Structure 1
Amino acid sequence: MTRTSFPASSLRRRMWLQWSLASAGAFALTARASTSPLDGGPLRIVVPYPAGGSSDRAARLLAEALGPRLGVPVIVDNRVGAGGRLAAQQVHREGPGQNVVMLANPAVMLVAPLVFSEGGYDPDKDYVALSEITRYAFGVAVSSGVPVKEFAHLHAWMVANQDKLAAGVPATGSLPHFFALMLAEQLGLKLPVVGYRGSAPLLNDLMGGHVPLAIDTLETLEPLHKAGKLRILAISDDQRSPRLPAVPTFKEAGLPLSALAWNVLYAPAWLPVARVRQIAEATTQAMADKELQARFVTADMVPVVSTREQTVKMLAAYRAQWAPVVRRSGFRP
């Protein structure tokens, strides 16, 4: 993938330099606008999570950009339940006669099919990946009660405090949960994982000293880190975040750990091929628009420009990395 920069503030220019954009093939697509309105009427983007979250905000930004390109209204439809599985079950069962896609993350399209014997959908058979929309990294943070200011010193503290060691994550079975297991494996430690019902109670317990360590998205941890209420010691990206330039990556800290999560736009397998192609091309075109990218940046999200082929390749590599971790964990809800 090539990388590019955009005319914004100096900080944002540095941010853009780190973000993935598509190869020349993707940019060729952006030059072609849709020549006719999408058949079948309005398009719904189903989001498996409540309004106001990062997935919902990403979907609404995308919907605004897709409408003019597809020539039809684009509506965001929040379908909440069963950790995101409800939306995935319903969308693939709706059947022909309407236009619907889903913006989903690894918890719905990778983890759930591995740990639920009767998930109600098969991501490989029931869905077609269209385009990666956003990407995000994780951070490991400690409470102010943990006398560690650098990740290099965390291992020694963890060894000396095995009796009170635990890592809090925003949900059992989430990517932060499995990243905690990867971290423990690399460090050669037993690390109990405590699953919470969301980031808010997790961070309250972290700041209150009830759990010493937390793993969550950078978007979630960053404001409290900057306010001095917790300390992010390392991030899971391959490069440092421009917003947190003093925080090292895990690789810089000496651990060969790298992990990113994503929001990918999927179409149900029953959607006509011509519509799938038109929506995918319009999405790539929209995500390459500099104004839309700037709006994602303002919303603290990392936008990605990706063709269908690039997205499928990314998902295959992602599964190869994470599926063995999930299986080794023996996790069952």
Structure 2
Amino acid sequence: MKLSDFDFDLPEELIATRPARPRSSAKLLHAEAGGLSDRRVSDLPEILRPGDLLVLNDTRVIPARLTGTRRRGEAEARIEVTLAAPKGDGLWQALVKPLRKWAEGEEVRFSPRLSAVLEGRDGDMALIRLSAEGDLDAALAEAGAMPLPPYIAARRPADAADLTDYQTIWAARAGAVAAPTASLHFDEALMAALDARGVERTHVTLHVGAGTFLPVKVDDVSEHRMHAEWGDVTAPAAAAIARAKAEGRRVIPVGTTALRLIEAAKGREWTGDTDIFIRPGYEFAVADGLMTNFHLPKSTLMMLVSALMGRERIMALYAHAIAGQYRFFSYGDSSLLIP
């Protein structure tokens, strides 16, 4: 298939720069059994069946945008860093601007408590080692800003509201530099209503990397190579998925990150890096549906939802969403897709 097969025209005013308030008041396009309906996320307890298993990504977004100073004697340079992926023991793959002004072995200080040393390069990325006085998470929280997606950051800077808006209510395991955005629609009232309905849930972890925003640069999509991200499907999560499948209950991941991970793991207990690329022709082994926001034209996520629902069906759903003034991308509205 060609990249142009996943293109569409999106009016710029439909790109959301702030989330709906309350979270669960966002619109929800429900597509199932050939039909579609315009709902709200708060309607999920009416739409889902008792026994449906929601798979939630419990990654925590770190304040990964840092601005620091590199000093050489009297000379100073401003260095901007966006942490991209953890490599263990304080080592991070990072986007650095301007990388040419930072030599290996030099220190850049971001705050009195937080600094980094450049250790090398990894293609277009830098490899930096963070050092903190005291707790690293606390030092990052003091010095960093939330890494808003480029299409939001181009319209406004991150602010204090994003510290909570760009984080799920169940975020637990720090390491993501982008949010699992379909999960941002859930609030405590919705969770209580889903519990009362008998909808089950389990948690997995996929640390979403900055590569999620990289464009596809090849015309033949089969030639695209996905970025790798670290994921973990625990034994309890795998058992919950296996139980649901054995009992004929639906497994519905919330977000493409949770879907990619359980498909990479085939529903089993699993830990490691995944670069799974789901596009039309892929046969799903675990997921029976997907809750997801509306994605960028010509993106790998458009290919993923096309694999789930069929390309023509997805393009028709997106045309309906645009006509209905649905809000797009990370802070936008959502959809529930059941093939």
Richer in strand (by share): 2
State the TM bucket, normalised to the shorter chain: under 0.3
Richer in helix (by share): 1
TM-score (norm 2): 0.27
